[in-house]
Amino acid sequence: MGLVQAVVGAVGGVLADQWKDFYTVPDGLPATAALFAAVPRGTNAGRGSNTKGSSNIITNGSKIVVPEGYGLLLFQDGKVTGFAAEPGGYEWRSDDLNSKSVFAGDGLVSSLITQSWERFKFGGQPGSQQAAFFVSLKELPDNRFGTQSEIYWDDGFLNTQVGAVTRGSYTLKIVDPILFVKNFVPASYLQPGQVFDFTDIDNAAASQLFNEVVGSLAPAFSLYSNDPSKGNRITKLQQDSIGFAKSLSDAVENAYQWKSDRGLAIVKTAIVSIEYDANTRELLKTVQRADALAGTRGNSNLQASVAAGIQSAGENGGAAGLVGVGMASGMVGGLGSLQQPATPAAPAADDPVARLKKAKEMLDQGLITQADYDALKAKALGL
């Protein structure tokens, strides 16, 4: 018993004529607003059928309009008495046998809603006065994170610990409004005129979320860089906003149970900057050089280097230049041989790049296993 569904879908033009007084979301809300009281609209001093109550208190006969992207929560004495996520018009009737308390809303909210409703619903017939609040079901943007000093994690590709300073932002979504309100929102925000905003610097609950995200960054980086499906490359982070968001959401859930206890989930991330420490930068340079010299790419680079040397020698002119050309031509079997893959000269034994290149060639030819290659790489890089 509670809400009677009157109109589904687009309701603006219909109810503007049919309902002279109704409750809906307030004007001028920021895009980051998560929870706020319903406000009256209409001709009867803005109070509709509720002529003597507070601004967000509804009584029998009160009309409520739920816009797209929002859910409606009804309370009495701190208890949830009704929830609707389907956009449309509703009428509050405490004694109507056709009224309902939960409208799922075309998959906008998960099955957790039904479980939460059964756990927290009002015992017995709801009272005649209900407080109405709206909760956003949209992605809430501009939630910032950042580290003041390096954070460290074990990297699967480099096979060692790496560190970085990073900052960025993420989008949040309230996937279970009942859990969110009952377990996380302070009571001070369940008042008329109050807006719960995750980006409000004076919101202590939002500040707690910021601290928990920062505390989860290192595990999130570790989850991402050790995921074989991501190629184990931390350099992909800034191009994979959804992939890293999943790693960050999983890390937050493992540590703080955002989804299961608070009804919150991280949807997307944007890495604004990531600055690796000096040791990590050197490791990345070495690996990039090894990658550049591996396989056919390495042969192409060598041929290009030889060709550039021959051109430089020829431009010097004179006998020395010609001798240089002749020597270079002999080294590569003549200018025509540059069109064929050349076998580079054996590098010095103590060159880590050369050792990595040789090991990569052996791995590509099936002469050694991936584990053998990883061990040789670690030894060459001094890890």
DSSP codes joined into one string, 145-191: EE-SS-EEEEETTTTEEEEEEEEEEEEEEES-HHHHHHHTS-GGGSS
Q: Are residues 88 and 25 in the same domain?
A: yes
Last residue of a domain, one of 276, 305, 321: 276
Does the predicted TM-score (pTM) go above 0.85?
no
Residue 33 pLDDT: 95
192 in any annotated domain: no
301 plus 372 within the same structural domain: yes
User: CA dist 19 to 51, 253, 272, 289, 302, Å?
Assistant: 15, 44, 47, 71, 79
Are 148 and 60 contained in the same domain? no
| pLDDT value of residue 372 | 80
Q: pLDDT digit of tens for each residue in the chain (383 aa)?
A: 578 887 765 555 556 557 878 899 998 899 999 999 999 987 554 444 444 445 688 888 889 999 999 999 998 877 888 898 888 889 888 776 667 777 766 555 656 777 777 777 665 566 667 899 999 999 999 999 999 889 998 887 788 889 999 999 999 999 999 999 999 999 999 998 899 999 998 999 999 999 999 999 999 999 988 887 777 677 777 788 888 999 999 999 999 999 999 999 999 999 888 898 998 888 888 877 776 666 554 555 555 555 555 555 555 555 444 444 444 444 444 434 444 444 555 544 567 777 778 888 877 877 788 888 888 887 777 66
257 CB-near residues (< 8 Å, 6+ apart) = none
Domain range for residue 323? 282-380
Phi and psi torsions of 66, nearest 5° = -105, 110
Q: Give the rounded distance of the alpha carbon of 226 from its chain centre.
A: 18
Task: Tell me the helices (H) and strands (E) count for the chain, helix number first.
Answer: 10, 16
Same domain, yes or no: 303 and 367: yes
Are 303 and 345 contained in the same domain?
yes
The reply to whether 145 and 117 lie within a common domain is: no
The answer to whether residues 144 and 272 belong to one domain is yes
